Amino acid sequence: MTAAHERLYLRTLHRLVAAGIPFGILGTFALRRHCPALPRRLVADCDLFLPPDPATLTALARQLQAGGWRVTLWEQPVTLPFQAADLTSKYYLRARQAGAVLDCSYENDYLSWPEFWAACQWHHGLPLLAPEAILHQKALVARPADRAVLRWWQQAVSS
């Protein structure tokens, strides 16, 4: 993630909060908000989690499009408003702008929306999943990028 992408994400996220869109931030971007020493090079994108509600996801897509993001569902441009059948088992919307990627999940194999929201904390005006929950999810998924973040975190905590 570049510094420009980070600024774009932050502007966008604060606009979503101001618009009243219910969401929380998870993944490495959220971890970096909790711990700014986490290197940008370990942050690939910005991950959001939202309730699986077509009206909420339609409002999200409209806000993102108004901000210049290109929103897709399974790499296809979205047609609004969403219907429940459009979204079932598709897991997330993806938004792109100037090389930045927002993955907006509404289905999660590890957390339901109520469980997720209960584990979020407001930090500098943004709803972030708690660091312990992020690290736990990264350990469960254990992709190479997740393992790199976990190694960095372990070294940072040990220092």
**138 token code pair:** 């990264």
Say if CB 40 and CB 1 are below 8 A apart: yes
Name the fold adopted by 3-153: Beta Polymerase; domain 2 (3.30.460)
Share of the chain above pLDDT 70, in %: 100
* Beta-carbon count within 10 A of 157 CB: 9
Query: What does the pLDDT read at residue 158?
Result: 85
**Tens-digit pLDDT string for the chain (159 aa):** 999 999 999 999 999 999 999 999 999 999 999 999 999 999 999 999 999 999 999 999 999 999 999 999 999 999 999 999 999 999 999 999 999 999 999 998 878 999 999 999 999 999 999 999 999 999 999 999 999 999 999 999 887
Provide the edge-to-edge strand list for the sheet that holds 126-129.
Answer: 76-77, 70-73, 92-97, 100-105, 46-49, 24-26, 126-129, 120-123
Which DSSP letter does residue 82 get? -
Say if CB 116 and CB 106 are below 8 A apart: no
pLDDT tens sequence across 112-127: 999 999 999 999 999 9
What b/e string do you get for 53-84 counting C-beta neighbours within 10 Å, with b at 16 or more? bbebbbbbbbbbeeeebebebeeeebeeebee
Query: What does the pLDDT read at residue 81?
Result: 98
